[in-house]
Amino acid sequence: MSRMQVPSFPQPAVPGPARSAAAFAAPAPAPADPGAAPNDFAQRLKRWVVRASVIGAVVSLLVHIVLMLIAAVVYFQVAQAGGAGAAPGEIELAIVTEAELQALEAAALEVDTPVVPDVVESTPEGPPMDGPGGDDLPAAGADIGGIADALRGTGDGLDRGSDLGGGGMGGGAASFFGVEARGDRFAYIVDTSGSMRGEKLDRLKVELLESINALSDHQHFYIVPFNSEAYSLGGKLKWSAAGDGEKRWAREHILILDAAGGTNPLPGFEIALRITPRPDAIYFMTDGMFEPSFADEIARINRSGRRVPIHCLTFGDRSAEPLMREIAKQSGGTYHHIEAPN
């Protein structure tokens, strides 16, 4: 028997190369872009760096602010405590207010600038003078006529106190007829009554000019001539500073003083003790006698304010010596007798 032929079935045609089992698997994903991954990382890194920088700046700012606040608190606490407890070697900063600085400047001025007291509460008795009584002063000398001639002239020779004798000390002191007083403000109550006419009045003018010219610029003077009445020299109602101009003014008015009338010093004290501020010392000169009750009146006026030492001088005539000594004692001043010119 012939071999049985197994019928063959036709295979479907597969175009192209034969497919493997993998051909029937799920399709593979599309290949990724090779440059995408690096770019994404760089952007993330950049954003992180920016955020970190901002956060760092904020943190740094906060840290600095906190440190500054701590430093300020410590600084002011140390300053208020006066720098107490500073370690050796540290440099402390002194914090001085404007008011304290002005006070320091004022203190420096007080140290550098000599201060002359404006108030003299008391003046001790003066040293003994030459003469039989221990309180007499010499007369002007034999050449009083020559001085009178100078007074009747231009008076230029009287500009310099040293030309006429020792003069005042200046700088907180004065001298009149050789009698010294302390202070800066001096009043002269001088007798111009009729008994002063002639050489005694000439001597008075010389002594006044000598005393005024010897005063320093910072000192002041006030002149009150008296006879039956009293008046301030030149009608002045306030102190005259001892500058060159005021000294020339005083010379012009002193040179024209005249002698007349009686002896009444009380109005002169009423003028001199009511000027403001009060004198540091008063020179009171007379050549004659006056009412005994005036001594108590002068003491009463003097007690109405700060007591002013009164330096009393009798000129030629000693008749008023007991009263003058009493006035000097009650005021804390001194008494002296001046011999009249020969």
What does the pLDDT look like over 310-321, one tens digit per residue? 999 999 999 999
Rg (CA), the chain: 54
Q: Tokens at residue 214, please?
A: 């010897």
Predicted local distance difference test score (pLDDT) of residue 98: 62
Predicted local distance difference test score (pLDDT) of residue 114: 40
Q: With a cut of 70, say whether residue 51 has pLDDT above it.
A: yes
Predicted local distance difference test score (pLDDT) of residue 8: 53
In our burial notation (b when 16+ CB lie closer than 10 A, e otherwise), range 196-231 reads beebbbbbbbbbbbbbbbbbbeebbbbbbbbbeebb
Predicted local distance difference test score (pLDDT) of residue 17: 45
With H, G, I as helix, E, B as strand and everything else as coil, classify residue 224. Answer: strand
With H, G, I as helix, E, B as strand and everything else as coil, classify residue 284. Answer: strand
Q: In the chain, what percentage of residues exceed pLDDT 90?
A: 49
**What average pLDDT does range 252-262 have in this prediction?**
97
Q: Is the peptide bond prior to 277 cis by the omega test (within 30 degrees of 0)?
A: yes
Q: With a cut of 90, say whether residue 281 has pLDDT above it.
A: yes
Q: With a cut of 90, say whether residue 218 has pLDDT above it.
A: yes
Rounded Cα distance, 132 and 177, in Å: 18
Q: In the chain, what percentage of residues exceed pLDDT 70?
A: 60
Rounded Cα distance, 335 and 325, in Å: 6
Do the beta carbons of residue 207 and residue 253 sit within 8 Å? no
Q: What interhelical angle do 321-331 and 293-303 show, nearest 10?
A: 20
Q: What interhelical angle do 244-255 and 199-213 show, nearest 10?
A: 180
Q: 140 or 258: which carries more pLDDT confidence?
A: 258
**What average pLDDT does range 158-186 have in this prediction?**
68
Among 58-67, 275-284, 292-301, 323-332, the minimum mean pLDDT is found in 58-67
Among 39-48, 71-80, 152-161, 171-180, the minimum mean pLDDT is found in 152-161
For residue 296, what are the contacts with CB-CB under 8 A and spacing of at least 6? none
Predicted local distance difference test score (pLDDT) of residue 70: 83
pLDDT tens figures, 1-23: 444 454 554 554 544 444 444 44
Q: 144 or 237: which carries more pLDDT confidence?
A: 237
Q: Tokens at residue 149, please?
A: 């001639």
Q: Could you please report the per-residue DSSP string of 175-206? A: EETTEEEESSEEEEEEE-SGGGTTHHHHHHHH
- Cα-based angle 75, 80, 83 (whole degrees, multiple of 5): 70
Sequence letter at residue 265: P
Predicted local distance difference test score (pLDDT) of residue 69: 83
Among 30-39, 137-146, 330-339, the minimum mean pLDDT is found in 137-146
Among 50-59, 75-84, 236-245, the minimum mean pLDDT is found in 75-84
Predicted local distance difference test score (pLDDT) of residue 38: 59
**What average pLDDT does range 164-171 have in this prediction?**
38
pLDDT tens figures, 95-115: 555 655 555 555 444 434 444
Chain mean pLDDT for the chain:
74
Predicted local distance difference test score (pLDDT) of residue 330: 96
List, in sequence order, every residue forming a beta bridge with 337; answer none if it has no partner: 136, 314
Identify the residue whose tokens are 């050789």.
178
